[in-house]
Amino acid sequence: MFAAIIIKYVSWLRALPKSDLVLLGKGLVSPQTMMAIWEVVCESLLHRRIFRINKRLGYMHMSLAFGWFLLIVVGWAETVAYLGARWVPLQGHVFFKYFAALNGINTHIAIFDFVMDLLLMFVLSGVALAWYKRRNSAKLGMKRATQHIFFDKIALTALWFVFPVRLIAESITAAIYGGGGFLTGGIGKLLSMVVSDNILEWAYEPIWWIYSLALGVFFMAMPFSRYMHIFTEIPLIFLRHYKLRPQDKEKSYDNFEVEACSRCGICIDPCQLQQQLGIHDVQSVYFLRDRRYNMLQQKIAHNCLMCGRCEQVCPVGINLNTLRLNSRTSMRNIPNEGRYNYLRGKDYSMGEGRVGYFAGCMTLLTPNTLHAMEKIFTAARENVWWADKDGGVCCGRPMKLTGETDSAQNMMDFNKRLFKQHDITTLVTSCPICLRVFREEYNLEGIEVLHHSEYILRLIQQGRLRIKYNAEQTFTYHDPCELGRGSGIYEEPRAVIEAIGKLLETEHNRKNALCCGSSLANTVIDDKQQLSIATNVAEEMDSTGAKTLVTACPLCKKAIARGTRSKVVDLSEIVAGNLR
Amino acid sequence: MKHIIIIGGGVAGMQCASELAQQGVRVTILEKEADTGGKVKNWHKLFPTFTPASDVLSGLRHKIAKADNITIKTGCEATQVTPNSVRLASGEELSCDAVVIATGYTLFDARIKEEYGYGIYDNVITAADLEEMFNKNDVRLADGRVPRRIAILHCVGSRDEKVCQRHCSKVCCVTGVKQAIELKQLFPSADVFNFYMDIRMFGPGYEEMYREAQQKYNVHFVRGRISEVSPTIDNRLQIKAEDTLTGRPLKIGVDMLVLLIGMRANDMNTTLETDSGLQRQASGFMQPKDAFLGNAESNVEGIFYAGAITAPKNVAEALCDGATAALRVSDWLRNK
C-alpha cells in the first residue's frame, strides 16, 4: 500500500511544472510548513470543516480518523511499554493482543486496556453511524448519498468489518486469556460465561484471521479506491500552503486534488441540477471520480452550472470549478484560431473619460440596465469612455467556461489592448461574468475594476449620487453566482438597495444563494430545465412578499424574469428610478 | 329550454352563440371586457382581403341582436368552470347545461424581449399598436414625423425557446406582409423591411399577397432575426441583425420598428387544468379531445372549445370553430 502511494506521489511531484516546483521550494522553508502541519491536524484528523457543515457527519469522520489514529499511537505506546525500549514499527500493535496472548505475556496494564477500549468504542460509534448513514442518509442530514462503484464498495465493506471484528477478536482473547478493558474485558467475561471454552478456542484463530484479512483487503484497495483521500489530503494541504493551485490547463498538481476527494457526497445535496431536475450523475463527486479513472465523458463535464454551491461546502476545499474547467479544456475540439483575425484594428468605443464602462453582451441585450447606467453616470457628472455601447468584443469568459481557453485569449487580448489604449483608471461593468474575468485574468495593472454595485455605492457614499429613500418600496435580492461566490461581493448591492427602500432576504442568500439556472457554463441542459430552476428561484424571491425582484447580473435578470410575472430589475434600474 | 354558457365574446364566441340561438337554445355570453368583439375589435383590416375588421364584427353583432334568446353579460370574468356551472369573479354562480370556452389567447408581452427595446424606445411598437394607429388613421413617429424607414420583425414571442414560447403563432407572418403593404400604401417612398426566420404563408391568397408585397410594393425581406436594438445619436433606432442568406452581420438605422408579437396561452388555462380537469398542451393552449373528429370537444363531457383557446388561429378559422362548437353542443344535448 505504502509503495503504491509513494510511487503515485513521487511521480506527481516530478511531473509538476517548473513554476509549481519553484513555489514548492520557496514554501518548504517558510512558516507555511508549520501552518500546514496545524491544518493537517485540524482537517485530516479532527475534520473541523465537516463539523461546521454537519455536526453528525463531522463526528462520524472524526471518530474514524482521529480514533483510528489514536488507536495506532496508543497501541504503539502499549506495545513499546511491553517490549521495552527497542524499535517497534507503527503497525506493531495490530496483532499485539494475539501474539501477546499466545506467548503468554501478561498484558494487563489497566490504563492501556481502558484507553484502548475507550478508543475502540469511539471508532465503533463512528462505524455504527456510517452503517446507519448508508441505510438512511437523510437522518444524518444528507438527502442523497454517493452511489459508489464496485471497488469502493469492497474497500468500504472491509473498513466496516475491521473494527467490529477487532472488538470480537479482542473480546474472545480476553474471554480465554483474561485481561481487556471495560469493553473487551466485559464482553470477554460475558462470553466465557455463556459460550463454552471449546467454541471460543475454535473461534479464536478464525476471528483473528478475518480481522487481518479485512485489514489487508482495506489497505490493498486503499490506493485505488476513495480511501486514497486519507493520505492524499496531507500533501495537498502542504502544496496548497505553498500556493499551488489548479489552472486553465490540466497539470500534475490536479492529481492531488482529484485523489483527495473522499467521495463523501456532501456536494450532492446543494446541487440544483439534482434538487430541481433530478440529474444524479454529474455532481462534483462523480466528475472527480470519472476524471480519476479516466472515464470522464463530455456530457458529464459540461453538465454543470458552475454556480459554486458545491465548492462552498466541500470539506476538503477542492477547487471543483477550476478542475472541471481544465477538464473541459482538455476535451475541447481545437477550433480554427484564424477566425479571430477580424478583431485586428477594430475599435467601436466612444466618449472620453478616465472611467470606462463595459456593458458586456448580456447588458446590451438588457438595454434597461444600460440606460440606467447612462442616467447614473450623468447624475454623477462622470465623464465616461464607453467601451462597447456600439458593439464590442465579448469579455471571453463564456468561451473559457466551455473550455475554449485559447479562443477566449484572443478576445481577452483584444479588450485588454483597448482598455490600455484609452488610458482609463477605472473600469466599471454591470455584468458579473465580465467582472470576474477582468479581475482574475486580465492583469489590468493601473486600472481598478469595479462592479456597478460597488461603483454606485461609492458614488452614494461620496455624495455624488443623491437617492430618494422610501420605506414603502420593498425589494428582494438575488445573489448572482459570479458576483457572490465568484467575486465575494455580497454587501455592496444590499447597501445600495437599503439606500432606496426595504430589503427582504430570501431563504438562500449570500454564500448559499441559488443559481438562476441559465448559467453560461452549462451547455447540456435545455431551456425547459433552465426554466424549472428559474421558476424555483423566482418562487423563493416572490415568497418574501417584496414587490420588486432585484439582481445585479443581466443574465440572472433574464433568467428569473422567465420564471415569474413579478417585476424583475437590475440594481442600476432601481437606482436610476430613484434619483433625487 | 336548455341553457348554454359561452365564455368569451370574441368572434368565435359570438359565432357560436348565434348558431346555437338559431337552434332554439338559450345562450349567455360572458365577456370580461366592457364590449364584445375580443381582439378583432382592435384590428384594422383583415388579411388577405383587406376586409375591415369592423365589417366582420358588425355582421356578427347584427346576427346576435336579431336573436332574442342570447344574453350578453359584459364585465364578467369566469373564474371556475364545470359542465353545469360557471362561477364569476363577483362570486355569482350561473348554472347551465353545457359550457363553451372561447377565451382565445393573450398577446405576448414584448417587454420580455428587452433587447428589442419595447417600452424603452418610443418608436418601437407592436403589430397591435400599429393596428390601433391604422384605426385612428394616425401612423406617425413619437415626435410627429413621418417614418422613412421601417423594420418589421417577425417571431417576437413565437418559436422562441428563450421566452418559453416554442410554438408558431402562425398568423404573424401574413400580418407582417399585410402591414408592410398598408405602410407602403401610406408612405410610398418609405423603405419597409421584414426580418424573418421563415415566411409561412399557409392560407388561401397569402402567398399571392407575399409576392405582391415584393413585386408591387417593393417591400424588402431579410432572412434573419434582429439581435438587438439601440438608439442612435439622432434618436433613430439602430438594428443589429444577420442576413443569414448572405451570411453577413448587418446594422441599419430605422425610424420605426414593428414587433410582430405572437399569441401565447392565457394564464387562466392553468386554472382550467387544475380546477376543471381540462387537459393542456405543452404550449399552454388547451388540448381538444381529438385533433380531427373531436376538435371542438374537451376531455370533459359538457365542456366545449371554440377559437384560439386550443391553438393560434386566424379570424376565419375562429369563426368556423364557433359554428362547429355550436353543432357539437346541440348534438350532445340531443343525445344526452
pLDDT digits (tens, 9 = 90+) for A28-70: 888 888 888 888 888 888 888 888 888 888 888 888 888 888 8
The pLDDT of residue A103 is: 67
Is a pLDDT exceeding 70 seen at residue A431? Answer: yes
User: Which stretches of A382-451 are DSSP H helices?
Assistant: 397-401, 405-421, 432-441
**Mind listing the pLDDT tens digit for each residue in B40-58?**
999 999 999 999 999 999 9
Please name every residue paired with B220 in a beta bridge, in sequence order, or none if there are none: B193
* A7-16, A178-187, A383-392, A560-569: least confidently modelled range: A178-187
Q: What percent of chain A has pLDDT over 90?
A: 51
The burial of A196, by beta-carbon neighbours within 10 Å (0-12 exposed, 13-18 middle, 19 or more buried), is given as: exposed
Return the pLDDT at A92. Answer: 65
The verdict on B117 touching A (C-beta cutoff 8 Å) is: yes
- A296 CB contacts (<8 Å, ≥6 apart)? A287, A290, A327, A331
Determine whether the interchain pair B115/A366 forms a contact, defined as Cβ–Cβ distance below 8 Å: yes
Tell whether B252 lies on the interface with A, counting CB pairs under 8 A.
no
Instruction: Tell whether A505 is within 8 A of chain B (Cβ).
Output: no
Task: Provide the shortest C-alpha distance from residue B213 to chain A (in Å).
Answer: 31
Q: Complex ipTM, two decimals?
A: 0.77
**For testing contact with chain A, the best of B116, B159, B164 (most A CBs within 10 A):** B164
pLDDT for the residue B71: 96
Q: Does B120 touch chain A (CB under 8 A)?
A: yes
Domains of chain B: 3-105+265-335 (3.50.50.60), 110-263 (3.50.50.60)
Please tell me the distance from the alpha carbon of residue A468 to that of residue A499, in angstroms, as a whole number. Answer: 8
State the pLDDT at residue A105.
61
Whether residue B246 is predicted with pLDDT greater than 70 in this model: the reply is yes
Question: What proportion of chain A, given as a percentage, has pLDDT over 70?
Answer: 96
Contact of A335 with chain B, judged by CB distance below 8 Å, is answered with no
Q: Which amino acid, one-letter code, is at A305?
A: L
Whether the per-residue pLDDT at A259 is higher than 90: the answer is: yes
Burial label for B42, CB within 10 Å (0-12, 13-18, 19+), is middle
A390 contacts on B by Cβ (under 8 Å): 230
Please provide the average confidence, as pLDDT, over all residues in chain A: 89
Q: State the DSSP code for A43.
A: I
pLDDT value for A77: 82
**Do the Cβ atoms of A396 and A361 come closer than 8 Å?**
no
Interface of B with A in 210-249 (CB under 8 A): 227-230, 240
Whether residue B164 and residue A371 make contact (CB cut-off 8 A), yes or no, is no
For position A277, what pLDDT does the model report? 94
* Residue scoring higher pLDDT (B158 or A86): B158
Do A555 and A518 contact (CB within 8 A), yes or no? yes
B261, B107 contact by CB (below 8 A): yes
What would the pLDDT profile of A493-513 be if each residue is shown by its tens digit? 999 999 999 999 999 999 999
Poorest-pLDDT segment among A125-134, B130-139, B325-334: A125-134
Measure the CA–CA gap between B199 and B208, rounded to whole angstroms: 13
**Domains recognised in chain A with CATH numbers:** 2-226 (no CATH), 245-331 (1.10.1060.10), 341-459 (3.40.50), 467-576 (3.40.50)
pTM value is 0.84
User: CA-nearest residue of chain A to B160?
Assistant: A527
Greater pLDDT, A48 or A351: A351
> What is the interface size between A and B, counted as CB pairs within 8 Å?
36
Q: What is the mean pLDDT of chain B?
A: 95
pLDDT at A218 over 90: no
pLDDT band of A184, cuts 50, 70, 90: confident
Look at residue B34 in the predicted model and tell me its pLDDT. Answer: 96
Helix axes A284-292 and A320-331, enclosed angle (nearest 10):
50
Whether residue A371 contacts residue A354, with contact meaning beta carbons closer than 8 Å, is answered with: no
CB-count exposure of residue A136 (10 Å: 0-12, 13-18, 19+): exposed
Q: Is the pLDDT of residue A234 over 70?
A: yes
Q: Is the pLDDT of residue A139 over 80?
A: no
pLDDT confidence of residue A459: 97
Give B-chain residues touching A391 at CB under 8 angstroms: 240, 251
